[in-house]
Structure 1
Amino acid sequence: MPALLFDLDGTMLNSDDIHEQVYRELWADRGLVMEDGFYMENVHGRLNVDVFAKYLPDEGDPQGLSEWKEAQFRDRLPTPYPAMPGVLDLLHAAQNDGWRVAVVTNAMRLNAEAMLSAIGARGAIETMVIGEECARGKPHPEPYLQAMKALDMPAAQCIAFEDSTTGVQAAAASGAYTIGVRSGLSDQDLRAHGAQDSIQDFTDIALPDLLARLKGVVA
């Protein structure tokens, strides 16, 4: 049976507004102005330390700043928090059908645990791969390749769900069948970076037929 590989933020839940607000405050504290659209274009889906290296090169401790930023996020994340529509039903169906499930995220582990717990999905996740714990995070395919190794599943039997350009690039480069989630980007943008299909969310009427077709292809 296929394996389902999920990105987390923007895919299983959408908390970008919380992240963006913390980033805006971080920029303002340094006398910088964050223009509208900057977060989605330059931060979304990327590791904090990579963002800081590019835009805050004078920071003495980018890892410490990243940990502070993510602690701010956890403090502001309500519990419970709404899951992406339909994702919990898909996880339940995957468990019933014996599909393997992993989360592959650039979020730090404490955040990933907090988000999964907030949407009530932690118990459905078999394996979790954290980008900053890999030698290279997304957009490199290594996090996805590690998930496949942990599940002992070949790329040809893996379906990845991603919402960011870096995530789509990583998933597609790993060889997984990559489905974009249009929580922040258009179908055109997602396909331009490697997605083979896209859905609005997990209630999209195209998803059941898509999964049934893919099940036949990868089984």
Structure 2
Amino acid sequence: MRSFRLLIAALACLPALAYAGAQQYEPLAASVQAALHGAVSDARAPEPIFPSPEEKVRWLGEMSQKLAKRMPDPQERLDFLKTVYYEAQRAGLDPQLVLGLIQVESGFKKYSVSGAGARGYMQVMPFWVDLIGSKGQNLFHIRTNLRFGCTILRHYLDIEKGDYYRALGRYNGSLGRPEYPNLVRGAWERQWSFVPTRVAGQTQSVGQTQNVAARN
């Protein structure tokens, strides 16, 4: 627990921290490969569906304020956040989790490239384009990068039966090591927390409904 608190403190002091890793190539069953290919080939414009118009204004406003120092241009910020929400929602992920992962992976740098060759906001390895994508897909394109990243994370969550600790380890190529999952957890719960509008007398904290178990 002490080591986790130290990691959170370090994360707070380094808001643009990048901890890019590299997903590992693993052979996929033909059915899985076909399903993932379908998941990344839909090129429709992202139109996120919020619980209400008020919630849309609140979420975009709060997230935009938090992101302003890292992404100064207002229109770029809005397009980015709408795409994050859409792709996270499409993959059945918490948008705050995706924002936390991007913070840790790339520090919100669109053209970030890791030493292993992972690219873009979500640091997607190029082999995924050959494995489940289509020729010519550009991993520096915002929608393509987020579509692949969210699809891959969903795939790892399904493999690990919802275990966020192990799924995040797979995503970063550091399965079994606590540093990366704990950093993403810290960003998810602290930097990008969001409390939805009270609905039917109950309030849930998005970004804290699914916790990544801290492991040392």
Q: TM-score, normalised by structure 1?
A: 0.27
- Which has more strand, going by share of residues? 1
